[in-house]
Structures are given as C-alpha cells and as structure tokens.
Amino acid sequence: MFINGEWITGRPQFQVTNPATGEVIGEVPDCSDQDIEAAISAAHNSFREWRATTAYHRSQLLYRAWELMIRRKRELAELMTREQGKPLKASLNEVQYGADFLLWFAEEGKRMYGQSIPSSRENQRFLVQKSPVGVVGAITPWNYPISMITRKLAPALAAGCTVVLKPAESTPLCAQAMLEIFEEAGFPPGVINALTVQNPARVGQVFCTDPRVRKLTFTGSTPVGRELNGLAAANMKRVSMELGGHAPAIVFPDADPVHAAKGLSLVKYLNTGQACISPNRIFVHEDHLEPFIAELTSRTRRLVAGNGMNEGTGIGPLINELALQKVDSQVKNAVARGARIETGGQRLTDGELGAGFFYAPTVLSGVTPAMDIYREETFGPVAPVITYRSEDDVIAMANDTDYGLAAYIYSNNLSTAMRAFEALDFGIIGINDINPTSAAAPFGGMKNSGLGREGAQEGIDEYLETKLGGFAI
Ligand code: NAD
C-alpha cells in the first residue's frame, strides 16, 4: 500500500499465489478503514497543488514513468507471468500496451483545449475551460493487471486529478511495481495512492459515498459494476464503467474460412480466454463450417498449456478454482444440450499442470441459444461455434445479447463488412482484424458492457469537467 508518498507496512497481510503452480509468491497488507480514510485525505489534500501544475509538467512526469516502464519491461513481464499466469510473450506485450497509455496521455494532456463562443450580446464573451474532476477512485481487474492501471491513471493524472487505486486482490504485486515506478518518476506525495485489500466491498462503498471522491472508474464484471454504479449515481459521482463482454465473431460466406480460423484462434486463446473482448460466440456460415472447424480444431490441439515462464507455452492457467469451475460447468451444460466437443473439454491435471488451474483449450460445435455459453461470458479457453444461413439472421443473433463491448467480422467484401459494421451494436469492431485496440483509439462498450471510453481523446474527457465563463465586459 502506498499512501501520501509512504509505503505502509505493519498491517495484517494476505498472500498472493502463482496460478500456474499454487506457490505463494508474496504478501501484501490488507487495508483498514483508517487506511482508506488516509488515502482519500492524501488525494484530496494534494489535489489543489497538483491541479495547479502545468500540463507540461504533468506530461514530463508521465513521460518519465513511460521510460522507466520500458526500461523494466522484462522484469515487469516476469512478475506478471508469475502473478497472473499469462505466457511471458503476452506479458511483454501487455507491459508495452500499458506503457503506451503513459506516452499517449503525456501528449494528449497538452491538448485539453477549451472554446471561445460568440455571444448574441455585444458586451458579453463566453469562455469554456476544461478542469480536472478531482479525486478519482480507480478499481482495476486482474486479467490485465498493468495496462488497466495505466489506462486509467495516465489520463487522470494528465488531466490534473489525484488518484486512489484499488487493484484486484489476485494481482497486487503488479500494482505495487507500478506504484514504485510512479514514485521514482517523481509524482508528488498524495497524488497517487494505492490500497491493497482482500475484501474489496468496503473500499468500493467508500469510493461511491465519500464526498471528496468525485469520480469512480471501474473495470471488472457487470454485476459488481452495476452495484457500484447505483451507489455512485445516488451520490452524483461521475463514473466510467468497463464491464463484461460476450463478443460475437462472424465469418461471412465471402471470407476465407482458414484465415478466419487462424485469426479467431489467436484472439480466442489470448490470456486463456480471460479477456473482456474475447470472441465468445463464433458464427460461421453453413458453407464454411467444415474447413473452419478443421482449422480451428487443429490449431487448438497444437496449443501447449503450461507455466507461462516456459518457452513454447501458448496457454496459461485460469486465475483460480472458481474460474475453472465456471468454464467446466458451461462446457458440461452445452454438451448436455447437444453441443459436440471437437477438442479439449476437460480440466488438465497431468504432471505439473495438476498444481495449477489449467483447462484444455476447447472447441465446441453445434452451439445453440439453449446453452448457457450462448448467453454468458465464459472467461476461459472455449471457442463455441454456431452455424447460420443468412446475413440478416446472423446480425440479429450477434446483437441478441445484453452486452455490447467487442465484435469481430471476417469478410472479403467491402459492402458486407460495412453493412455489418453499421448494424452491430458493439463499441469495438474488428474487421478482418483481431487487435482493434490502441492507446490512441477509444475502448469501451454499450449496453451492459459499460459507460464511457478509455484511451484516445475521449479517455481524458472522462476526467474533465466543462466550465463556462460568461464575461460581461
Ligand atoms: P470483478 O468485478 O470481480 O473484480 C474487478 C475488480 O473489482 C477487482 O479489483 C475487485 O477487487 C473489485 N471488486 C469486486 N467486488 C467489489 C465490490 N463489491 N466493491 C468494490 N470493488 C469490488 O471482476 P473480475 O472477475 O476480477 O474481472 C473480470 C471481469 O472484468 C470480466 O467480466 C471482464 O469482462 C471484465 N473486464 C472488462 C474490461 C473492459 O475494459 N471492459 C477489461 C478487463 C476486464
């Protein structure tokens, strides 16, 4: 924990484990109510001075933090693999992606432009300025334990806000490493504070009710987001909500099914399927079913599950036993209702894998709306394939979900792709593209996938108030 520029010790600790081996890799303090109060006070007290610094000064500190992240890329990535489980190569990519937000917002912070608006009265001038919202409470998940921190903190700090971060209880060590970087970069005491806690409900409740916290930014599951959003709304707080997803991927008749299977296998098994933008319903035109399933199954079989530190590991463990049980129960439910397992379909327990939370990468065919997996986010390495006949049908099926985060389209026909892009109710759409994400592009969802956007110019607007000055001259 880091409060007002001090590392806090001498509290009861909780353990952090490696999901690939079950081994304890560290301990962190479990915060008390007094710590929550101290962190919010520190953020509140430092806000006046911090907001008065120039955008150029804040940019320099963000730039320094970016440099430190890049310098320590490998060290951070190794820590991430030990704590979260993803293969080292994926961790290296995440550290780079996380660092991108620092660099991008170091620049964007200098462009918080206002407006001068003509008045209908001769002796009046209107001036619009952007000002920081104030103290931000930030809650981040474990699946992207570094980039979800920088995606929130970089725009908040660039805007002139101060922050209290509460990282996920499964990955506090990555958060600690990031706080060390911010400290070394020279951010003043109180500007960035972090609370580690085993039971997060209390911190969430205080973030939503303490009048000094002006904004809540949350990334996590839809049920928790909905609860926090309700409480924040009652207290008139600004919110950003990056919640769950249930991404459709559509393979149109004019696409190359083998190319589509290659792309979708890469994005499906990324982070062992534990990504909010993971394709969770793969709609394949009936004419393409056979070659598509053959390619996807063959690629899935070749994936090597194991400890992410081992060379050649393509798929890591799930985060914990509960996550494993959820995946297993969705697969069993689908099979009981007529789905066919093309490969996988069981927990992996051989040799060293037995100590971790490993599930075999799985392809299911014959998936129908009667199955849980058709409606619920899986957050695991299961690729459910659904057959369709017409464009109209598949667009309706793809939109038939309470979520609206990411969607994917494979088509070699510009008109088909454009029609689908316009008709799909999702915030992020990859068109023959499995990586439609960047610090420079807006990320976020519609419907139950959340409110607001992160990254891009919109990402900093989330931390700014609009202030109008009417001047009588
Ligand atoms: P989660 O909601 O259980 O936890 C997310 C964070 O919220 C953690 O820090 C956790 O400690 C905290 N939290 C949990 N209960 C809380 C409470 N009552 N009050 C305050 N904080 C609380 O979700 P998870 O299982 O850790 O993360 C996976 C979910 O996150 C998935 O649904 C995934 O789709 C979503 N996600 C979304 C995005 C996005 O950008 N839309 C990105 C990553 C993950």
- Ligand 1 within 6 A of 139 CB? yes
Q: Write down the pLDDT at residue 352.
A: 87
- Ligand 1 within 6 A of 257 CB? no
Ligand 1 centroid vs 169 CA: distance in angstroms? 10
- Ligand 1 within 6 A of 221 CB? yes
Count CA atoms closer than 13 A to 295's CA, side-chain side: 17
- Ligand 1 within 6 A of 216 CB? no
Distances (CA, A) of 288 to 31, 40, 395: 54, 56, 17
Q: Average pLDDT in the 260-286 region?
A: 98
**Across the chain, how many H-helices and E-strands are there?**
15, 22
Which residue among 276, 378, 462 has the greatest number of ligand 1 atoms within 8 angstroms of its CB, and so is best to mutate?
276
For residue 195, pLDDT beyond 90: yes
Tokens of 225: 């987001």
User: What CATH code is assigned to 247-438?
Assistant: 3.40.309.10
Q: Average pLDDT in the 7-27 region?
A: 96
Asked if 377 is an active-site residue, the reply is no
Give the atom of ligand 1 at the shortest distance from the alpha carbon of 224: 2
* Nearest partner of 459 among 433, 435, 472, 441, judged by Cα: 441
Classify 370 as helix, strand or coil: coil
Q: Write down the pLDDT at residue 11.
A: 95
Q: What are the structural domain ranges in the chain?
A: 2-243+449-472, 247-438
Q: Please give the angle made by the CA atoms of 40, 44 and 48, to the nearest 5 degrees.
A: 165
Give the atom of ligand 1 at the shortest distance from the alpha carbon of 139: 9
Ligand 1 centroid vs 381 CA: distance in angstroms? 19
Q: Average pLDDT in the 204-209 region?
A: 98
Which stretch of DSSP H or E encloses residue 234? helix 222-234
Report the share of the chain in percent with pLDDT over 70.
100
Ligand 1 centroid vs 412 CA: distance in angstroms? 36
Distance CA 87, CA 65 (A): 24
Tokens of 99: 């660092």
Which residue among 224, 227, 246, 319 has the greatest number of ligand 1 atoms within 8 angstroms of its CB, and so is best to mutate?
224
DSSP string, 192-208: EEE---SSTHHHHHHHH
Distance CA 180, CA 163 (A): 15
- Residue identifier of the C-alpha nearest atom 43 of ligand 1: 276
Specify the DSSP class assigned to residue 187.
P
Q: Write down the pLDDT at residue 166.
A: 98
Active-site residue (options: 83, 276, 295, 454): 276
Q: Write down the pLDDT at residue 37.
A: 98
Q: Average pLDDT in the 124-152 region?
A: 98
- Ligand 1 within 6 A of 244 CB? yes
Ligand 1 centroid vs 276 CA: distance in angstroms? 10
The pLDDT confidence band at residue 410, using thresholds 50, 70 and 90, is: very high
Q: Write down the pLDDT at residue 194.
A: 98
Ligand 1 centroid vs 444 CA: distance in angstroms? 14
Ligand 1 centroid vs 220 CA: distance in angstroms? 2
ipTM, two decimals: 0.95
Active-site residue (options: 83, 94, 108, 242): 242
Q: Write down the pLDDT at residue 180.
A: 98
Asked if 422 is an active-site residue, the reply is no
Residue 129 burial (C-beta neighbours within 10 Å; 0-12, 13-18, 19+):
middle
For residue 348, pLDDT beyond 90: yes
Which pLDDT tens digit goes with each residue over 37-92?
A: 999 999 999 999 999 999 999 999 999 999 999 999 999 999 999 999 999 999 99
Residue 78 burial (C-beta neighbours within 10 Å; 0-12, 13-18, 19+):
middle
- Residue identifier of the C-alpha nearest atom 20 of ligand 1: 204
Distance CA 73, CA 77 (A): 6
- Ligand 1 within 6 A of 201 CB? yes
Q: What is the pTM of this model?
A: 0.97
Residue with tokens 């609860």: 227
Give the atom of ligand 1 at the shortest distance from the alpha carbon of 223: 2
For residue 16, pLDDT beyond 90: yes
Ligand 1 centroid vs 141 CA: distance in angstroms? 5
The answer to whether 432 touches 441, Cβ cutoff 8 Å, is no
* Helices 172-185 and 55-71: angle between axes, nearest 10 degrees: 130
Ligand 1 centroid vs 201 CA: distance in angstroms? 12
Give the atom of ligand 1 at the shortest distance from the alpha carbon of 225: 2
* Nearest partner of 447 among 275, 243, 276, 280, judged by Cα: 243
Fold agreement between 2-243+449-472 and 247-438: no
Distances (CA, A) of 167 to 73, 77, 203: 20, 17, 11
- Residue identifier of the C-alpha nearest atom 7 of ligand 1: 220
Q: Please give the angle made by the CA atoms of 378, 380 and 384, to the nearest 5 degrees.
A: 65
Residue with tokens 């599930």: 359
| DSSP-derived pairing of the beta strands 2-3 and 6-7 | antiparallel
Which pLDDT tens digit goes with each residue over 432-460?
A: 999 999 999 999 999 999 999 999 999 99
The answer to whether 270 touches 84, Cβ cutoff 8 Å, is no
The pLDDT confidence band at residue 402, using thresholds 50, 70 and 90, is: very high
For the chain, the average pLDDT equals 98
Residue with tokens 């921190």: 149
The answer to whether 311 touches 80, Cβ cutoff 8 Å, is no
Task: Give the helix, strand, coil percentages of the chain, each rounded to 5.
Answer: 45, 25, 35
> What are the residues whose beta carbons fall under 8 Å from the beta carbon of 472, sequence distance 6 or more?
123, 124
User: What CATH code is assigned to 2-243+449-472?
Assistant: 3.40.605.10
Which pLDDT tens digit goes with each residue over 131-140?
A: 999 999 999 9
Distance CA 108, CA 440 (A): 10
